[in-house]
Amino acid sequence: MFIKAECLQRTGSFKLRGAWWRLSSIPEAERAAGVVAFSSGNHAQGVAWAAQRLGMPATIVMPADAPAAKVAGTRASGAEIVFYDRATESRETIAAGLAAARGAVLVPSFDDPWIVEGQGTAGLEIVDQYRAATGRAVERIAVCCGGGGLSSGIALAAPHAAIVVVEPEGWDDMGESLRRGAIVPVGAHPPATSCDALQTMRVADLTFGILQRRGATGLAVGESEIAAAMRFAFETLKLVVEPGGAVTLAAALAGKLPLDSTVLMVSGGNVDPATFRALTA
């Protein structure tokens, strides 16, 4: 089993790849006004991390129910946090208002060519690392998918590998969109999911278009499969993996994905200890 363990990445997920690439492209003269982003937590930490290193102020719009680990990680990088209510407020509107008022750059979490390109650096590493470890080319990469920034970036970076996106059941809109050949949003009443990082209601033309042209396919996994994968990661891999980061491993352990010549992207490990205990007990 080959795993790209981005839970071990700085900030605990792959998200700083895209954030760094986007923020470092902002001309020096425009950096003082800072950046604004909205995120349940991993993109938040990535943007905060990159902004701190570039000396830029960062404001992050986060849901009031974001995991404490993600709020703490974002705050630790010096970002200002503005909370909103998932049920009654629009994070897009709040973030756009803040960006306009401050003259700050709004940094989307996936619908942006810089972000896609930055996340794709994980794909460049997968290609090189798989070849170094096995002497062969990687044939298949399974990627957890919310808005599709990571999966489309990897699809571009690994043009010879089959791309399989993995989503929680009921939130598998990218898979469904790829099957139908057109973007389908998540249904009106999606089921509860532990995958806070993958609760994106609609993918982007940019990310869907890349995955469609690359012939990507989709898979969905259930909550008990995700919990089993988190337990496996703890007991066997000695890795702390968050629910959204465990979906590819869940698919593999459930026999939904061949392991031969496959790399599983395990995208993040930002989970509160209490949540981890509850899910894996």
| Contact set with its own copies (CB under 8 A) | 7-8, 12, 69, 231, 234-235, 237-241, 269, 273, 276-277, 280-281
Q: Among 202, 115, 185, 111, which Cα is nearest to 154's? A: 115
Determine the Cα–Cα distance for residues 57 and 281; give it in Å rounded to an integer: 40
Residues 6+ apart with CB under 8 A from 195: 168, 171, 226, 243, 244, 247
Least separation, in Å, of the C-beta of 113 and its own copies?
29
Closer Cβ to its own copies, 108 or 269, answer by number: 269
Phi, psi of 167 (to 5 degrees): -135, 160
For its own copies, which is the closer residue by CB, 22 or 70? 70
Least distance (Å) between residue 234 CB and its own copies: 6
Tell me whether residue 60 or residue 266 sits nearer to its own copies (CB atom).
266
| CB closer to its own copies, 10 vs 213 | 10
Nearer to its own copies, 53 or 277 (CB): 277
What sign has the CA pseudo-torsion 9, 11, 15, 20?
A: negative
Between residues 137 and 278, which has the closer beta carbon with respect to its own copies?
278
At its nearest, how many Å lie between its own copies and the CB of residue 138?
21
**Least separation in angstroms between CB 235 and its own copies:** 6
Taking the complex as a whole, the smallest distance from the CB of residue 78 to its own copies amounts, in Å, to 17
Q: Using an 8 Å Cβ cutoff, are 141 and 265 in contact?
A: yes
Phi then psi dihedrals of residue 235, to 5 deg: -75, -35
Residues in Cβ contact with 52 at an 8 Å cutoff, skipping those fewer than 6 apart: 58, 77, 78, 79
| Shortest Å distance, C-beta 228 to its own copies | 13
Q: What is the C-alpha to C-alpha distance for residues 246 and 230, in angstroms, rounded to an integer?
A: 6
